[in-house]
Amino acid sequence: MSVARIAVMVSGGGTNLQALIDAQESGIIKDGKIALVISNNAGAYALTRADKAGIPAEVVLLKDCKDRAEFEKRIEDLLSEYDIDLIVLAGFMSILSAEFTGKHPNRIINVHPSLIPSFCGKGFYGLHVHEAALAYGVKVTGATVHFVNEIPDGGKIIMQKAVEVMEDDTPETLQRRVMEEAEWKILPRACQKIAREIVRGN
């Protein structure tokens, strides 16, 4: 295998997707290629980002499926159709079932906006994570890239990067700084690391 084919799963603006696209263009990701973007939100700006970058994009909506099993089956069909080797959850706001994650051991990674095991698990997503960090009074937070398994945010950690919390931070300013200083840096590096292992047959 010369390059690992990557699917990025998104739900919203796609800032982490953009970080991956930029990293691919700059050569940070050289053993992987973003071959597909999947969104569970037809209005996600991430789809526009994919289009601008010339990356095929597909939308799978839970409301169009009779149940979650059909929703995940449609995603599986796309992963097979596009011959995907690595799945990256980049702001994908839907918990995947144990059956789904079990089919892709060490082949699904996620970026979470805290230093796991702090502020993670069920209910900790988006601004909620940063609100909790500020409420607790931590002086350092950050981001984590980890493998995805049946436990939300429970898979093995691949990379982490710390970010200082400022005295005057709001959840919004902290969210932005964690993205800029941590998420957008470690997600592409983690992608390259796993893609290289896949290419080498590890």
> What are residue 163's phi and psi, to 5 degrees?
-135, 135
- Residues belonging to the chain: 202
Which has the closest alpha carbon to 74: 83, 65, 85? 65
Alpha carbons 112 and 145: distance in angstroms, whole number: 6
Annotated catalytic residue 130: no
Range list of H helices, 53-97: 68-81
Alpha carbons 83 and 17: distance in angstroms, whole number: 19
Which has the closest alpha carbon to 9: 104, 90, 102? 90
* Edge-first strand listing for the sheet containing 4-10: 57-59, 32-39, 4-10, 86-89, 108-112, 140-147, 157-164
Q: Are 113 and 89 in contact (CB under 8 A)?
A: no
- Paired tokens of 123: 């209910």
Pairing of strands 157-164, 108-112: unpaired
Pick the catalytic residue from 112, 128, 130, 146: 112
User: Which residues are marked as active site?
Assistant: 112
